[in-house]
Amino acid sequence: MTVTAFVHHKGGVGNTMLLQLLAGELARRGRQVLAVDLDPQANLSRRMGYQESQLENRVTVAEVIKTADPQLLMDRHLPCQWEEDWAQNIRLLPSRLELENRVPEAGIPGSWRRLHLALELARGAFDDVLIDLPPTMGHLFDLACCAADGLLLPTSPTYDGMRGTQRIIDTVNDPERRTALGLHAWIWGVILNGKRSGVADHAERIDQATARWGDLLWGHPITLRQPVASCEERAEPPQRTPGEAGVMIRAAGAAIADRYLADRQASAA
Ligand SMILES: Nc1ncnc2c1ncn2[C@@H]1O[C@H](COP(=O)(O)OP(=O)(O)OP(=O)(O)O)[C@@H](O)[C@H]1O
Ligand SMILES: [Mg+2]
């Protein structure tokens, strides 16, 4: 089982959308996927079919982290509600606002290892665990980094997007921090999303990103296309995007999944 955290430090760069895209593509290829919503905004939970009111009295990721109980996690993940056949291969550990109450627990020694511990039984049940995060670098970020084997960094071709990405890279690679938290995750890739054609600044930032991150960049920069966002509003997978935008986003998903699987195979060899 591979655990991947999707991390960003500038809001709205498509972190959640890209996680949905990869989850869908891996599921379509027959892999068993667990999507963990570690964002109190609970956008992933809604987009996989669960409104806030439906999760009010349910065990969510917040309780799983509080107890670090692997059995609780295994008992409480939910089916993804997308209509596609392959969506049966996706389970969701949902989130709700209560997750904010885990943040003050950051000071408790070892608390950052609780998600890692809770995932123990999932090892036999899933091929891929994908963790969604808010654009912060506090306790939730530490929980995800400690649980993860690798990190994917969605970003936008903008000054702030690139700065946020570099900040994460520097933080995760900092030797003192790695030792203090017991991290084994490394940065696996950066994914550029939200390119607007004809915007000179974007073209310039994409050149800079290519020069700076080289082989760490996964696939081609993904274009901003309204039908992708409309899909998300209706809680449909990005794969269901109609028209040319759909062709574009499905190709982007396939390229990301190809790279993910090729890298996993290479590291296992
Ligand atoms: N390539 C794209 N084309 C069109 N819309 C997109 C694209 N990528 C993301 N979006 C839309 O942009 C918005 C922000 O995306 P998303 O919520 O996935 O970002 P995020 O980085 O997870 O945000 P947050 O920081 O709030 O968690 C959403 O409405 C999403 O549907
Ligand atoms: Mg998000």
Residue type (1 letter), 168: I
Q: How far is the CA of 189 from the centre of ligand 2 (A)?
A: 18
Per-residue pLDDT band at 269 (split at 50, 70, 90): confident
- Residues with CB under 6 Å of ligand 1 are 8, 11-17, 39, 41, 43, 134-135, 193-194, 222, 224-225, 228-229, 232
Q: How far is the CA of 226 from the centre of ligand 1 (A)?
A: 10
Q: How far is the CA of 67 from the centre of ligand 2 (A)?
A: 24
Q: How far is the CA of 64 from the centre of ligand 2 (A)?
A: 20
Distance of CA 171 to CAs 142, 165, 178, 227, Å?
11, 10, 9, 35
CATH number at residue 160: 3.40.50.300
Q: How many CB atoms neighbour CB 263 within 10 A? A: 15
**Residue 197 pLDDT > 90:** no
Tens of pLDDT along 103-130?
Answer: 999 989 999 999 999 999 999 999 999 9
Per-residue pLDDT band at 227 (split at 50, 70, 90): very high
Q: Whose CA is closest to atom 6 on ligand 1?
A: 229
| Most ligand 1 atoms within 8 A of CB, residue of 6, 13, 17 to mutate | 17
| Number of helices (H), then strands (E), in the chain | 11, 8
According to the model, what pLDDT value does residue 233 have? 93
Say how far apart CA 40 and CA 42 lie, in whole Å.
Answer: 5
Q: Which of 237, 222, 231 is nearest to 23 (CA)?
A: 237
Which ligand 1 atom is the nearest neighbour of the CA of 6?
A: 22
Say how far apart CA 237 and CA 228 lie, in whole Å.
Answer: 9
Q: Which of 123, 124, 130 is nearest to 24 (CA)?
A: 130
List the shell of residues around ion ligand 2, using CB closer than 5 Å.
15-16, 43
9-19 mean pLDDT: 97
According to the model, what pLDDT value does residue 200 have? 86
Per-residue pLDDT band at 1 (split at 50, 70, 90): very high
According to the model, what pLDDT value does residue 235 have? 97
160-188 mean pLDDT: 96
Per-residue pLDDT band at 193 (split at 50, 70, 90): very high
15-19 mean pLDDT: 98
Q: Whose CA is closest to atom 29 on ligand 1?
A: 229
- The neighbouring-strand residues paired with 78 are 92
Torsion sign over Cα 32, 22, 155, 187: positive
Domain residues for the domain of 106 are 2-268
Mean pLDDT of the chain: 96
For the chain, the domain total comes to: 1
Q: Which residues contact 158 (CB under 8 A, 6 or more apart)?
A: 10, 194, 201, 202, 205
Per-residue pLDDT band at 199 (split at 50, 70, 90): confident
The bridge status of strand 222-223 relative to strand 186-195 is parallel
**Phi-psi label, residue 30: left if phi above 0, alpha if psi -120 to 50, beta otherwise:** left
Per-residue pLDDT band at 189 (split at 50, 70, 90): very high
Tokens of 110: 């070892």
